[in-house]
Structure 1
Amino acid sequence: MISKSAYTEQELISSLKCNSREAFEYLYDHYASALYGIIMKIVKDEDKAADVMQDSFLKIWKNIGSYNVEKGTLFTWILNVARNTAIDRLRLDVKNEKSVSWDTVIESDLGNNVVFNPIPATIDIRAIVASLLPEKSVLIDLVYFQGYTHEEVSEKLSLPLGTVKSRIRKALNELREIFDVHSFTLRAA
């Protein structure tokens, strides 16, 4: 079979959707350098860029059937496939860098501060809520501990619904601040 030297975009799309090897080779020959340039700008490593390039063209080959002419040009679509593949690779690399094997952490690496993340069941949330102003703590108690709806609390306490919702929102913000400020950091003794 003789390879076609030029395709219109529509012919190329049709041939790719028919899994034409020649069309795919044409696509690679004409677009690989542009895609590689974009990939390199994202991953900044030649070996990784080569891997991403291969993964990108594999995704293009497998997913060409999902390409929709009405949503953009073929180049835009393959560029997005390559860009997203590169970003996924970058995220995976960052995630792998952040994961630490506990076998490699020694006690002296922890320093003088030890962060204590208590099990939620062991925190006395009711005591923390009780430290709020009574007008807020009562609302939190009724809604979150006793299961009342905002409307039911409004009727029970003869308060406007807007006031109930506003006070609950303010109370929740105060509770967030309490947890953020204290963050349960303990000094090692």
Structure 2
Amino acid sequence: MIRKISTIKTNYSEEELIVLLRQKNEAGFHHLYDNYSGALYGVILRIVQSKEYTEEIIQDVFVKIWNSIHQYDALKGRFYTWMINIARNTAIDYLKSKSFQNQLKNQPLPDFVYENAELTTTNNSDFIGFNKVLESLESDKQELIDLAYYQGFTQSEISEKLNMPLGTVKTKMRNALLKLKDLLKDYQ
């Protein structure tokens, strides 16, 4: 039996991966999915709190990344952050969609209650090893990050929920993200 030796490169730098994706290269897409799907899945699951919906959304996220890769600008931020924002926004859009809201209304009550009770036990999982970093932040910064990135609140909604001026929320959120950025440098 003759075995083919694969000459396809299996590990790409971020810059190489972006070039491959812009060229619509399938190997680049496979590398993207293999290396980032777990982290993006975790982000989505924390927002929608349903494995079934997360599996639907993760497909949409990768299609959006594939179709909008030309919009990525390295000067504006890291590729991983850009992808997380796509995942987060897609999950939030899904939760706000009429079809999702109608699905919730049409579920029999016992199944819906049971499903949510089950999800709260898995909600404490740390999908991408991020909780340890978050615990290093002050509690007010943790709360803002949790509301915005894990619960899917907009800054306006956070302002209302915390009874805090919108400008203050924006400033505190920016400070929290800057502090988080500094903390993440230590974990690389």
Per the normalisation by structure 1, the TM-score is 0.49
- Larger Cα-atom Rg: 1
TM-score by length of 2: 0.49
